Every structure is written in structure tokens, then in C-alpha cells.
Amino acid sequence: MCPLLTEVKSYVAARLDEFGRIDEGRHRQLLALSQYVEERLRQGRAADLTFICTHNSRRSHMAQIWAHTSAEFFKLPGVRTYSGGTEVAAFHPSAVRAIAQAGFLVDKEAAGKNPVYLVRSGKNAEPQKCFSKLYNDPSNPAGDFCAIMTCAQAEEACPVVFGAAVRISLPYEDPKKFDGTDLQDQMYAERCADIAREMLCAFSHVNVGPTKG
């Protein structure tokens, strides 16, 4: 596993000190994710996580990236993260900017209405390829994965996630409501921090014994 970039490590350290801000009900939801990952890894199987939001443009991408980074930080090989939506839009520029400001290396591999970004948590790390797509896109697992619903709208529009072995509700407030306001960048940064904090908290509870450390 590739070492995290210095800027990402600093951002992670700040979020680790904020676990006390997570309330009890939310913590229970995060533990469902922890338990799924731990069970899979203890069985010697991959833990495939697909984060789902309506447009796969903001929260689901942030969650995919931070889940991957949390697994790297806690040295949990076998965790594979993906994201998708019930509709296709684009990875929103403000969400991309928030990820870059958290310390990630972000390169645009392809332009257009739905750009493709390569996001790295380490200088020599394998990049995560981020672009808006349906949750059942061929680049995502077709079956035996955990579906994590990151917005209430997608949860309502998608009562059945085909192929999912487990489904977890973990909605986040949409920063989209602040688009075009003076608070836009601040709220995207806050949502990035919220998601980072909770993904790190979830993965901190994963204990797979001697393989961790």
C-alpha cells in the first residue's frame, strides 16, 4: 500500500481528532459498514463498496475516495471502492476542488460534459478513476457488493439495488443547495470533512487481526 501524501496525512490527522462530533445514531450506521468490511476481510474475500447518490456528482465520489483512503490509512488491503448514481451528470467542479484542497493529487484524464479525473492519495498510488456513471456501470461490480446510499433521493428512487449483497443508508446533506452562493466553497469543504471523518471512523473499527498493523 502506497504512503499517503503529506497533505492528505495532515487532513486525516485533523479528522481523527473529530470522532467525538459523530452522534450515537450516526455511529451505529457507520458500524454497519465496519462490520461488513471486517466480515469480508476475515473470510479472505474482497470488500467491494459502491457509494450511490442520484447524480454521482458530489457525495458519492467523496465517499468513494475517502473510503479508499481510510482503508489505505488503516492498512486494510482487500477493500475496493466504487461509486455510481441513478442518473448520469458529472463530478462537480466544486467537489473536485474540495478533494484537491484536502491534499489529493487530481488530474483530468478526459474533458467534456462528463470529465474523467484521476485521484491519487499517494504520489505513486494507483489512481481512482472518477466520473459520473450509473451504479450498474460495467466499471462497477455487478454483484456481491455493499451498496451505501449517500443521499435520500437515491434511496427513494432506487428501492432495489440489483446485485447488492448488503445495503446501508448513510445520507449526507447535499452541498448543491449552496451552489452560486458565497458559502459554496465553504459548504463543499465542510461536506468533504464530514465524509472523511465518518469514513475514517468506520474503518477505525475494522479489526482483522494479525493482517492489520
Out of 3.20.20.60, 3.40.50.2300, 3.30.379.10, 1.20.210.10, select the CATH number for domain 6-207. 3.40.50.2300
pTM: 0.95
Q: How confident is the model at residue 2 (pLDDT cuts 50, 70, 90)?
A: confident
Rounded distance between C-alpha atoms, residue 130 and residue 171, angstroms: 20
Q: Which residues contact 47 (CB under 8 A, 6 or more apart)?
A: 36, 37, 40, 41, 78, 79, 80, 146
For the chain, give the mean pLDDT: 94
Assigned C-alpha cell, 79: 477493500
Report whether pLDDT(211) > 70: no
Rounded distance between C-alpha atoms, residue 166 and residue 124, angstroms: 32
Per-residue pLDDT, 193 = 98
Q: Residue 7 is which amino acid?
A: E
pLDDT tens profile 32-60 = 999 999 999 999 999 999 999 999 999 99
pLDDT tens profile 61-94 = 999 999 999 999 999 999 999 999 999 999 999 9
Report whether pLDDT(23) > 90: yes
So where are the chain's domains? 6-207
Assigned C-alpha cell, 102: 484536502
In the chain, % of residues over pLDDT 70: 96
Q: What would the DSSP string read from start to end of 104-145?
A: -EEEEEE-SSS-EEEEESSTTSPPEEE---BTT-TTS-SSSE
